[in-house]
Structure 1
Protein backbone atom coordinates (compact mmCIF):
# COMPACT_ATOMS: atom_id res chain seq x y z
CA UNK A 1 0.00 0.00 0.00
CA UNK A 2 1.46 3.36 -1.03
CA UNK A 3 2.02 6.15 1.49
CA UNK A 4 -0.51 8.34 -0.34
CA UNK A 5 -3.20 5.65 -0.08
CA UNK A 6 -2.49 5.14 3.62
CA UNK A 7 -2.86 8.87 4.24
CA UNK A 8 -6.12 8.94 2.26
CA UNK A 9 -7.57 6.06 4.32
CA UNK A 10 -6.49 7.67 7.61
CA UNK A 11 -8.02 10.99 6.55
CA UNK A 12 -11.28 9.27 5.63
CA UNK A 13 -11.41 7.45 8.99
CA UNK A 14 -10.74 10.69 10.84
CA UNK A 15 -13.52 12.43 8.91
CA UNK A 16 -16.05 9.68 9.72
CA UNK A 17 -15.01 9.77 13.38
CA UNK A 18 -15.49 13.54 13.54
CA UNK A 19 -18.92 13.31 11.89
CA UNK A 20 -19.98 10.61 14.37
CA UNK A 21 -18.79 12.65 17.36
CA UNK A 22 -20.57 15.74 16.03
CA UNK A 23 -23.81 13.78 15.65
CA UNK A 24 -23.49 12.40 19.18
CA UNK A 25 -22.77 15.82 20.67
CA UNK A 26 -25.77 17.39 18.92
CA UNK A 27 -28.22 14.76 20.18
CA UNK A 28 -30.95 16.19 22.40
CA UNK A 29 -33.63 14.47 24.51
CA UNK A 30 -37.25 15.56 24.65
CA UNK A 31 -37.83 18.24 27.28
CA UNK A 32 -40.24 17.58 30.17
CA UNK A 33 -43.82 18.53 29.37
CA UNK A 34 -47.48 18.28 30.29
CA UNK A 35 -49.81 17.72 27.32
CA UNK A 36 -53.62 17.59 27.35
CA UNK A 37 -55.72 16.05 24.58
CA UNK A 38 -59.31 15.60 23.45
CA UNK A 39 -60.26 12.19 22.10
CA UNK A 40 -62.74 11.59 19.28
CA UNK A 41 -64.57 8.62 17.78
CA UNK A 42 -65.83 9.15 14.23
CA UNK A 43 -65.51 12.89 14.79
CA UNK A 44 -67.49 12.94 18.05
CA UNK A 45 -65.75 13.99 21.28
CA UNK A 46 -65.77 11.02 23.67
CA UNK A 47 -62.99 11.62 26.17
CA UNK A 48 -59.70 13.19 27.18
CA UNK A 49 -56.06 12.28 27.60
CA UNK A 50 -53.02 13.50 29.52
CA UNK A 51 -49.31 12.85 29.00
CA UNK A 52 -46.63 14.06 31.44
CA UNK A 53 -42.86 13.75 31.28
CA UNK A 54 -40.79 14.65 34.37
CA UNK A 55 -37.05 14.56 34.96
CA UNK A 56 -36.50 12.90 38.34
CA UNK A 57 -32.67 12.91 38.30
CA UNK A 58 -29.83 13.84 35.95
CA UNK A 59 -30.59 10.99 33.54
CA UNK A 60 -33.79 9.49 34.95
CA UNK A 61 -37.33 10.29 33.85
CA UNK A 62 -40.92 9.48 34.71
CA UNK A 63 -43.51 9.37 31.94
CA UNK A 64 -47.19 9.01 32.69
CA UNK A 65 -50.23 8.61 30.45
CA UNK A 66 -53.90 8.82 31.37
CA UNK A 67 -57.08 8.55 29.35
CA UNK A 68 -60.79 8.66 30.12
CA UNK A 69 -63.68 7.80 27.83
CA UNK A 70 -67.12 9.17 28.74
CA UNK A 71 -65.65 10.72 31.88
CA UNK A 72 -64.20 7.39 32.96
CA UNK A 73 -67.59 5.64 32.95
CA UNK A 74 -66.78 3.85 29.69
CA UNK A 75 -63.07 3.12 29.99
CA UNK A 76 -59.98 4.61 31.62
CA UNK A 77 -56.32 3.79 32.01
CA UNK A 78 -53.41 5.15 34.00
CA UNK A 79 -49.79 4.24 33.28
CA UNK A 80 -46.57 5.36 34.94
CA UNK A 81 -43.16 4.53 33.48
CA UNK A 82 -39.63 4.99 34.81
CA UNK A 83 -36.72 5.09 32.36
CA UNK A 84 -33.25 6.40 31.66
CA UNK A 85 -31.23 7.18 28.55
CA UNK A 86 -28.30 5.06 27.41
CA UNK A 87 -26.91 7.29 24.68
CA UNK A 88 -29.80 7.84 22.28
CA UNK A 89 -31.77 4.86 23.52
CA UNK A 90 -34.29 4.62 26.34
CA UNK A 91 -33.85 1.85 28.90
CA UNK A 92 -37.00 0.96 30.81
CA UNK A 93 -36.69 0.72 34.58
CA UNK A 94 -40.24 -0.51 35.08
CA UNK A 95 -43.86 0.52 34.67
CA UNK A 96 -47.31 0.15 36.20
CA UNK A 97 -50.59 0.26 34.29
CA UNK A 98 -54.20 0.10 35.47
CA UNK A 99 -57.06 -0.21 33.02
CA UNK A 100 -60.72 -0.02 34.02
CA UNK A 101 -63.67 -1.07 31.87
CA UNK A 102 -67.36 -1.62 32.57
CA UNK A 103 -66.88 -5.25 33.57
CA UNK A 104 -63.76 -4.94 35.69
CA UNK A 105 -60.17 -3.78 35.84
CA UNK A 106 -56.70 -4.96 34.90
CA UNK A 107 -53.37 -4.23 36.56
CA UNK A 108 -50.08 -4.81 34.75
CA UNK A 109 -46.57 -4.39 36.18
CA UNK A 110 -43.32 -4.48 34.24
CA UNK A 111 -39.75 -4.96 35.53
CA UNK A 112 -36.56 -4.75 33.44
CA UNK A 113 -34.26 -7.66 32.76
CA UNK A 114 -30.53 -7.08 32.30
CA UNK A 115 -30.59 -7.08 28.50
CA UNK A 116 -33.11 -4.44 27.44
CA UNK A 117 -36.20 -6.63 27.86
CA UNK A 118 -39.10 -6.64 30.32
CA UNK A 119 -40.76 -9.12 32.68
CA UNK A 120 -44.48 -8.35 32.53
CA UNK A 121 -46.96 -9.60 35.16
CA UNK A 122 -50.73 -9.28 35.42
CA UNK A 123 -53.89 -11.33 35.94
CA UNK A 124 -51.87 -14.30 37.23
CA UNK A 125 -49.84 -14.33 34.01
CA UNK A 126 -46.12 -13.60 33.64
CA UNK A 127 -44.18 -13.26 30.42
CA UNK A 128 -40.67 -12.27 29.42
CA UNK A 129 -40.46 -9.88 26.47
CA UNK A 130 -36.89 -9.81 25.20
CA UNK A 131 -35.06 -7.09 23.28
CA UNK A 132 -34.17 -7.70 19.65
CA UNK A 133 -33.13 -6.19 16.32
CA UNK A 134 -35.53 -3.29 16.96
CA UNK A 135 -33.64 -2.36 20.15
CA UNK A 136 -34.93 -2.31 23.72
CA UNK A 137 -38.45 -3.37 24.63
CA UNK A 138 -40.38 -0.46 26.14
CA UNK A 139 -43.74 0.23 27.74
CA UNK A 140 -46.21 2.38 25.79
CA UNK A 141 -45.38 5.66 27.60
CA UNK A 142 -41.62 5.27 27.12
CA UNK A 143 -42.15 4.20 23.50
CA UNK A 144 -43.84 7.49 22.66
CA UNK A 145 -40.99 9.50 24.22
CA UNK A 146 -38.43 7.43 22.26
CA UNK A 147 -40.42 8.04 19.08
CA UNK A 148 -40.45 11.82 19.65
CA UNK A 149 -36.75 11.79 20.51
CA UNK A 150 -35.86 9.90 17.32
CA UNK A 151 -37.82 12.30 15.12
CA UNK A 152 -36.27 15.29 16.91
CA UNK A 153 -32.77 13.98 16.24
CA UNK A 154 -33.27 13.43 12.53
CA UNK A 155 -33.80 9.69 12.27
CA UNK A 156 -35.64 8.49 9.17
CA UNK A 157 -36.43 4.87 10.10
CA UNK A 158 -38.53 3.98 13.12
CA UNK A 159 -39.02 0.47 14.54
CA UNK A 160 -40.29 -0.20 18.08
CA UNK A 161 -41.24 -3.17 20.22
CA UNK A 162 -43.31 -2.23 23.25
CA UNK A 163 -45.76 -3.51 25.83
CA UNK A 164 -49.27 -2.05 25.99
CA UNK A 165 -51.09 -3.66 28.89
CA UNK A 166 -50.47 -7.37 28.37
CA UNK A 167 -50.14 -7.05 24.59
CA UNK A 168 -46.88 -6.86 22.65
CA UNK A 169 -46.79 -4.27 19.86
CA UNK A 170 -44.33 -4.21 16.97
CA UNK A 171 -44.62 -0.88 15.14
CA UNK A 172 -42.74 0.66 12.26
CA UNK A 173 -43.25 4.20 10.97
CA UNK A 174 -42.11 6.28 8.04
CA UNK A 175 -42.06 10.02 7.38
CA UNK A 176 -45.10 10.80 5.23
CA UNK A 177 -44.53 14.52 4.62
CA UNK A 178 -44.98 17.94 6.20
CA UNK A 179 -48.32 19.54 6.93
CA UNK A 180 -49.73 22.62 8.63
CA UNK A 181 -52.60 21.52 10.85
CA UNK A 182 -54.98 23.21 13.27
CA UNK A 183 -55.89 21.66 16.62
CA UNK A 184 -57.57 23.24 19.67
CA UNK A 185 -54.12 24.31 20.97
CA UNK A 186 -53.32 26.28 17.79
CA UNK A 187 -52.02 25.97 14.24
CA UNK A 188 -48.61 24.36 13.72
CA UNK A 189 -46.23 23.23 11.00
CA UNK A 190 -45.78 19.50 11.57
CA UNK A 191 -44.01 16.37 10.42
CA UNK A 192 -46.56 13.72 9.45
CA UNK A 193 -45.62 10.10 10.14
CA UNK A 194 -47.46 6.99 9.00
CA UNK A 195 -47.37 3.52 10.48
CA UNK A 196 -46.12 0.85 8.07
CA UNK A 197 -48.59 -2.03 8.13
CA UNK A 198 -50.81 -4.18 5.97
CA UNK A 199 -54.58 -4.15 5.94
CA UNK A 200 -57.28 -1.50 5.93
CA UNK A 201 -56.22 0.30 9.10
CA UNK A 202 -53.99 3.37 8.76
CA UNK A 203 -52.40 5.28 11.65
CA UNK A 204 -50.95 8.79 11.34
CA UNK A 205 -49.14 10.99 13.85
CA UNK A 206 -48.31 14.69 13.56
CA UNK A 207 -45.34 16.08 15.55
CA UNK A 208 -44.62 19.82 15.79
CA UNK A 209 -40.91 20.85 15.76
CA UNK A 210 -41.70 24.21 17.38
CA UNK A 211 -43.27 22.36 20.32
CA UNK A 212 -40.14 20.25 20.85
CA UNK A 213 -41.61 17.58 18.55
CA UNK A 214 -44.68 17.16 20.68
CA UNK A 215 -47.52 14.97 19.42
CA UNK A 216 -50.26 17.38 18.36
CA UNK A 217 -52.55 14.91 16.59
CA UNK A 218 -53.03 11.20 16.05
CA UNK A 219 -55.62 9.68 13.72
CA UNK A 220 -56.71 6.16 12.80
CA UNK A 221 -58.53 5.44 9.54
CA UNK A 222 -60.39 2.24 8.68
CA UNK A 223 -61.12 1.55 5.04
CA UNK A 224 -60.13 5.15 4.35
CA UNK A 225 -62.73 6.54 6.77
CA UNK A 226 -62.11 8.46 9.98
CA UNK A 227 -62.27 6.11 12.97
CA UNK A 228 -60.57 7.55 16.05
CA UNK A 229 -58.32 10.50 16.78
CA UNK A 230 -56.84 12.72 19.47
CA UNK A 231 -55.83 16.37 19.30
CA UNK A 232 -53.71 18.62 21.51
CA UNK A 233 -55.67 21.14 23.59
CA UNK A 234 -53.02 22.48 25.98
CA UNK A 235 -49.27 22.15 26.42
CA UNK A 236 -46.77 23.19 29.07
CA UNK A 237 -43.07 22.85 28.28
CA UNK A 238 -40.05 23.15 30.57
CA UNK A 239 -38.83 25.93 28.28
CA UNK A 240 -41.79 28.31 27.82
CA UNK A 241 -39.86 30.43 25.34
CA UNK A 242 -39.95 27.54 22.84
CA UNK A 243 -43.72 27.73 22.39
CA UNK A 244 -46.97 28.24 24.21
CA UNK A 245 -50.28 26.49 23.79
CA UNK A 246 -51.87 29.64 22.36
CA UNK A 247 -49.22 30.30 19.72
CA UNK A 248 -50.49 30.16 16.14
CA UNK A 249 -48.12 29.64 13.25
Structure 2
Protein backbone atom coordinates (compact mmCIF):
# COMPACT_ATOMS: atom_id res chain seq x y z
CA UNK A 1 0.00 0.00 0.00
CA UNK A 2 1.21 3.36 -0.69
CA UNK A 3 2.43 4.35 2.75
CA UNK A 4 5.24 1.80 2.48
CA UNK A 5 7.40 4.33 0.69
CA UNK A 6 11.10 4.35 -0.06
CA UNK A 7 13.09 5.59 2.94
CA UNK A 8 16.74 6.20 3.69
CA UNK A 9 19.26 3.51 4.68
CA UNK A 10 17.93 0.30 6.26
CA UNK A 11 14.42 1.68 6.71
CA UNK A 12 14.30 2.49 3.00
CA UNK A 13 14.39 -1.23 2.28
CA UNK A 14 11.94 -2.09 5.02
CA UNK A 15 9.29 0.51 4.25
CA UNK A 16 9.39 0.87 0.52
CA UNK A 17 6.25 1.34 -1.50
CA UNK A 18 4.13 -1.80 -1.91
CA UNK A 19 0.87 -1.19 -3.77
CA UNK A 20 -0.65 0.32 -3.79
CA UNK A 21 -0.50 2.08 -0.38
CA UNK A 22 -0.38 0.74 -0.03
CA UNK A 23 -1.32 -0.97 2.18
CA UNK A 24 -0.95 0.83 -1.65
CA UNK A 25 -1.75 3.65 -0.17
CA UNK A 26 -1.42 1.39 1.12
CA UNK A 27 -3.38 -1.54 2.20
CA UNK A 28 -3.63 0.25 0.54
CA UNK A 29 -3.70 -0.38 -0.67
CA UNK A 30 -7.17 0.21 0.10
CA UNK A 31 -11.38 -0.26 1.26
CA UNK A 32 -14.79 -0.21 2.78
CA UNK A 33 -17.41 -0.63 0.09
CA UNK A 34 -20.21 -2.97 1.07
CA UNK A 35 -21.54 -5.27 -1.68
CA UNK A 36 -25.02 -5.08 -0.15
CA UNK A 37 -24.89 -1.31 0.04
CA UNK A 38 -23.65 -1.09 -3.53
CA UNK A 39 -26.76 -2.82 -4.80
CA UNK A 40 -28.81 -0.10 -3.15
CA UNK A 41 -26.57 2.93 -3.58
CA UNK A 42 -23.30 3.37 -5.44
CA UNK A 43 -22.38 6.12 -2.98
CA UNK A 44 -22.57 4.07 0.21
CA UNK A 45 -19.33 3.73 2.19
CA UNK A 46 -18.91 2.44 5.72
CA UNK A 47 -16.16 3.21 8.27
CA UNK A 48 -13.47 0.68 9.10
CA UNK A 49 -10.31 0.23 11.14
CA UNK A 50 -7.73 -2.34 10.03
CA UNK A 51 -4.46 -3.63 11.46
CA UNK A 52 -1.83 -5.46 9.41
CA UNK A 53 1.40 -7.25 10.26
CA UNK A 54 4.46 -7.45 8.04
CA UNK A 55 8.08 -8.47 8.20
CA UNK A 56 10.19 -6.61 5.65
CA UNK A 57 13.89 -7.38 5.34
CA UNK A 58 13.88 -8.93 8.80
CA UNK A 59 12.10 -6.02 10.51
CA UNK A 60 8.64 -6.28 12.03
CA UNK A 61 6.23 -3.52 11.01
CA UNK A 62 2.79 -2.62 12.35
CA UNK A 63 0.48 -1.04 9.79
CA UNK A 64 -2.98 0.46 10.19
CA UNK A 65 -5.63 1.81 7.87
CA UNK A 66 -8.82 3.66 8.77
CA UNK A 67 -11.76 5.18 6.94
CA UNK A 68 -13.69 7.82 8.87
CA UNK A 69 -17.08 9.12 7.80
CA UNK A 70 -18.11 12.66 8.73
CA UNK A 71 -21.34 13.62 7.02
CA UNK A 72 -20.63 13.69 3.29
CA UNK A 73 -16.86 13.79 3.86
CA UNK A 74 -14.55 10.78 4.11
CA UNK A 75 -11.08 10.66 5.60
CA UNK A 76 -8.55 7.89 4.96
CA UNK A 77 -5.61 7.50 7.34
CA UNK A 78 -2.85 4.94 6.86
CA UNK A 79 0.24 4.47 9.00
CA UNK A 80 3.23 2.16 9.35
CA UNK A 81 5.76 2.13 12.15
CA UNK A 82 8.56 0.23 13.84
CA UNK A 83 11.45 1.10 16.14
CA UNK A 84 13.19 3.18 13.45
CA UNK A 85 10.34 5.51 12.64
CA UNK A 86 6.91 5.98 11.12
CA UNK A 87 5.05 6.89 7.95
CA UNK A 88 1.57 8.42 7.84
CA UNK A 89 -0.75 9.29 4.95
CA UNK A 90 -4.03 11.17 5.17
CA UNK A 91 -6.56 11.95 2.46
CA UNK A 92 -10.04 13.49 2.35
CA UNK A 93 -12.69 13.12 -0.33
CA UNK A 94 -16.42 13.29 -0.93
CA UNK A 95 -18.83 11.72 -3.43
CA UNK A 96 -20.78 13.79 -5.92
CA UNK A 97 -24.42 13.16 -6.84
CA UNK A 98 -23.35 10.42 -9.27
CA UNK A 99 -21.20 8.72 -6.62
CA UNK A 100 -17.93 9.87 -8.22
CA UNK A 101 -14.98 10.44 -5.87
CA UNK A 102 -13.99 14.11 -5.50
CA UNK A 103 -10.65 14.57 -3.75
CA UNK A 104 -10.09 17.46 -1.35
CA UNK A 105 -6.57 16.90 -0.04
CA UNK A 106 -3.69 14.49 0.56
CA UNK A 107 -0.79 14.63 3.05
CA UNK A 108 2.21 12.38 3.58
CA UNK A 109 4.68 12.46 6.47
CA UNK A 110 7.72 10.28 7.03
CA UNK A 111 9.90 10.41 10.14
CA UNK A 112 12.76 7.90 10.04
CA UNK A 113 15.61 8.11 12.56
CA UNK A 114 14.96 11.83 13.00
CA UNK A 115 14.84 12.51 9.25
CA UNK A 116 11.50 14.06 8.34
CA UNK A 117 9.86 14.41 4.94
CA UNK A 118 6.43 15.83 4.12
CA UNK A 119 4.33 16.03 0.97
CA UNK A 120 1.04 17.79 0.36
CA UNK A 121 -1.44 17.73 -2.51
CA UNK A 122 -4.15 20.40 -2.48
CA UNK A 123 -6.93 21.10 -4.95
CA UNK A 124 -8.07 24.40 -6.45
CA UNK A 125 -11.26 23.40 -8.23
CA UNK A 126 -11.98 26.98 -9.30
CA UNK A 127 -8.66 27.21 -11.12
CA UNK A 128 -8.90 23.58 -12.19
CA UNK A 129 -5.50 22.53 -10.82
CA UNK A 130 -3.95 20.32 -8.15
CA UNK A 131 -0.91 21.75 -6.35
CA UNK A 132 1.87 19.48 -5.06
CA UNK A 133 4.52 20.60 -2.59
CA UNK A 134 7.43 18.77 -0.96
CA UNK A 135 10.34 20.73 0.54
CA UNK A 136 11.44 23.13 -2.20
CA UNK A 137 9.73 21.09 -4.91
CA UNK A 138 6.45 22.39 -6.29
CA UNK A 139 4.42 20.98 -9.15
CA UNK A 140 1.01 21.66 -10.62
CA UNK A 141 -1.32 19.27 -12.43
CA UNK A 142 -4.17 20.52 -14.58
CA UNK A 143 -7.39 18.74 -13.66
CA UNK A 144 -8.54 17.72 -17.13
CA UNK A 145 -10.22 14.59 -15.81
CA UNK A 146 -11.39 13.00 -12.60
CA UNK A 147 -7.88 12.21 -11.38
CA UNK A 148 -7.40 10.34 -8.11
CA UNK A 149 -4.57 10.44 -5.56
CA UNK A 150 -2.52 7.67 -3.94
CA UNK A 151 -5.21 6.93 -1.36
CA UNK A 152 -8.49 7.55 -3.16
CA UNK A 153 -7.65 5.35 -6.15
CA UNK A 154 -7.52 2.42 -3.72
CA UNK A 155 -11.10 3.11 -2.66
CA UNK A 156 -12.16 3.22 -6.31
CA UNK A 157 -10.30 -0.02 -7.07
CA UNK A 158 -12.33 -1.88 -4.50
CA UNK A 159 -15.57 -0.24 -5.56
CA UNK A 160 -14.85 -1.49 -9.06
CA UNK A 161 -14.06 -5.00 -7.84
CA UNK A 162 -17.31 -5.10 -5.91
CA UNK A 163 -19.18 -4.08 -9.07
CA UNK A 164 -17.61 -6.92 -11.04
CA UNK A 165 -15.57 -4.68 -13.32
CA UNK A 166 -12.59 -6.26 -15.04
CA UNK A 167 -10.98 -3.12 -16.48
CA UNK A 168 -9.06 -1.64 -13.56
CA UNK A 169 -7.25 1.46 -14.82
CA UNK A 170 -6.78 4.73 -12.93
CA UNK A 171 -5.14 8.08 -13.53
CA UNK A 172 -3.39 8.99 -10.30
CA UNK A 173 -1.56 12.12 -9.17
CA UNK A 174 1.56 10.74 -7.48
CA UNK A 175 4.29 13.08 -6.24
CA UNK A 176 2.98 15.87 -8.42
CA UNK A 177 2.91 13.87 -11.66
CA UNK A 178 0.05 12.18 -13.47
CA UNK A 179 0.55 8.42 -13.73
CA UNK A 180 -1.44 5.45 -15.01
CA UNK A 181 -2.09 2.67 -12.49
CA UNK A 182 -3.26 -0.60 -14.06
CA UNK A 183 -4.37 -3.85 -12.43
CA UNK A 184 -5.25 -7.34 -13.65
CA UNK A 185 -7.55 -9.88 -11.99
CA UNK A 186 -5.77 -13.24 -11.70
CA UNK A 187 -8.70 -15.23 -10.33
CA UNK A 188 -10.08 -16.51 -7.04
CA UNK A 189 -8.18 -18.10 -4.16
CA UNK A 190 -8.96 -19.23 -0.62
CA UNK A 191 -6.42 -17.56 1.65
CA UNK A 192 -5.46 -18.44 5.24
CA UNK A 193 -5.01 -15.42 7.55
CA UNK A 194 -4.72 -14.85 11.33
CA UNK A 195 -8.50 -14.24 11.21
CA UNK A 196 -9.13 -17.56 9.47
CA UNK A 197 -9.62 -18.54 5.81
CA UNK A 198 -11.27 -16.19 3.33
CA UNK A 199 -12.31 -16.57 -0.27
CA UNK A 200 -10.49 -13.80 -2.11
CA UNK A 201 -10.09 -12.07 -5.45
CA UNK A 202 -6.43 -12.10 -6.50
CA UNK A 203 -5.25 -8.93 -8.26
CA UNK A 204 -1.90 -8.07 -9.85
CA UNK A 205 -0.43 -4.61 -10.33
CA UNK A 206 0.64 -4.25 -13.99
CA UNK A 207 3.84 -2.26 -14.45
CA UNK A 208 5.81 -1.37 -17.56
CA UNK A 209 9.60 -1.11 -17.45
CA UNK A 210 9.62 -2.25 -13.82
CA UNK A 211 10.60 -5.70 -12.55
CA UNK A 212 8.73 -5.34 -9.27
CA UNK A 213 5.79 -7.71 -8.77
CA UNK A 214 2.83 -6.82 -6.57
CA UNK A 215 -0.12 -9.12 -5.86
CA UNK A 216 -3.09 -8.33 -3.62
CA UNK A 217 -5.90 -10.45 -2.19
CA UNK A 218 -9.33 -8.85 -1.53
CA UNK A 219 -12.10 -10.60 0.44
CA UNK A 220 -15.64 -10.06 -0.95
CA UNK A 221 -17.23 -11.17 2.34
CA UNK A 222 -15.29 -8.36 4.08
CA UNK A 223 -16.55 -5.64 1.75
CA UNK A 224 -13.58 -6.26 -0.58
CA UNK A 225 -11.03 -5.35 2.05
CA UNK A 226 -7.38 -6.04 1.31
CA UNK A 227 -6.44 -9.06 3.43
CA UNK A 228 -2.95 -9.75 2.05
CA UNK A 229 -0.31 -8.13 -0.12
CA UNK A 230 2.89 -9.67 -1.52
CA UNK A 231 5.66 -7.84 -3.35
CA UNK A 232 8.88 -8.99 -4.96
CA UNK A 233 11.53 -6.32 -5.43
CA UNK A 234 13.87 -5.85 -8.36
CA UNK A 235 16.73 -7.24 -6.26
CA UNK A 236 14.77 -10.44 -5.60
CA UNK A 237 13.71 -9.72 -2.02
CA UNK A 238 10.06 -10.41 -1.32
CA UNK A 239 7.77 -9.08 1.42
CA UNK A 240 4.31 -10.02 2.65
CA UNK A 241 1.70 -8.08 4.60
CA UNK A 242 -1.40 -9.71 6.09
CA UNK A 243 -4.45 -8.50 8.01
CA UNK A 244 -4.50 -9.43 11.71
CA UNK A 245 -7.52 -7.59 13.14
CA UNK A 246 -10.05 -4.87 12.46
CA UNK A 247 -13.60 -3.57 12.50
CA UNK A 248 -16.03 -2.75 9.69
CA UNK A 249 -18.91 -0.42 10.46
CA UNK A 250 -17.79 -0.69 14.11
CA UNK A 251 -18.26 -4.47 14.15
CA UNK A 252 -15.25 -6.77 14.78
CA UNK A 253 -14.07 -8.71 11.76
CA UNK A 254 -14.71 -12.43 12.13
CA UNK A 255 -14.28 -15.10 9.51
CA UNK A 256 -17.52 -15.56 7.61
CA UNK A 257 -19.22 -12.58 9.24
CA UNK A 258 -21.54 -10.07 7.58
CA UNK A 259 -20.20 -6.52 8.00
CA UNK A 260 -22.34 -4.60 5.53
- What's the TM-score bracket when you normalise by the shorter of the two chains? 0.7 to 0.9
1:92 Cα deviation (Å)?
A: 0.7
1:27 Cα deviation (Å)?
A: 2.6
Distance change (3 Å), C-alpha of 1:102 and 1:46: same
- Is this contact kept in 1: 2:245–2:253, CA < 8 A? yes
Structure 1 segment 129-208 matched on structure 2, within 5 A: 129-131=141-143, 135-164=145-174, 169-198=179-208, 199-208=210-219
Distance change (3 Å), C-alpha of 1:148 and 1:248: same
Kindly report the root-mean-square deviation, in angstroms, between the aligned alpha carbons of the 2 structures.
2.7
5+ residue gaps, structure 1: 1-22
1:169 Cα deviation (Å)?
A: 4.6
Q: Which has the higher contact order (CA 8 A, sep 6+)?
A: 2
Report which of the two structures shows the higher radius of gyration computed on alpha carbons.
1
1:53 Cα deviation (Å)?
A: 0.3
1:41 is matched with 56
Higher helix share: 1
CA distance in 2: counterparts of 1:99 and 1:166, whole angstroms: 17
| 1:123 is the counterpart of 2:110 | no
Classify the secondary structure of the residue corresponding to 2:207: coil
2:232 is matched with 221
Q: Normalising to structure 2: TM-score of the pair? A: 0.73
CA distance in 2: counterparts of 1:105 and 1:121, whole angstroms: 15
* Count of residue pairs the alignment pairs up: 217
5+ residue gaps, structure 2: 1-37
Classify the secondary structure of the residue corresponding to 1:180: strand
1:180 Cα deviation (Å)?
A: 0.5
- Is this contact kept in 2: 1:177–1:193, CA < 8 A? yes
| 1:32 is the counterpart of 2:43 | no
Cα displacement string for residues 138-193 of structure 1 (whole angstroms, at most 9, x for unaligned residues):
33222221211221122211122334556765310011100010122221000111
2:254 is matched with 246
Cα displacement string for residues 91-116 of structure 1 (whole angstroms, at most 9, x for unaligned residues):
11012221112361111121113287
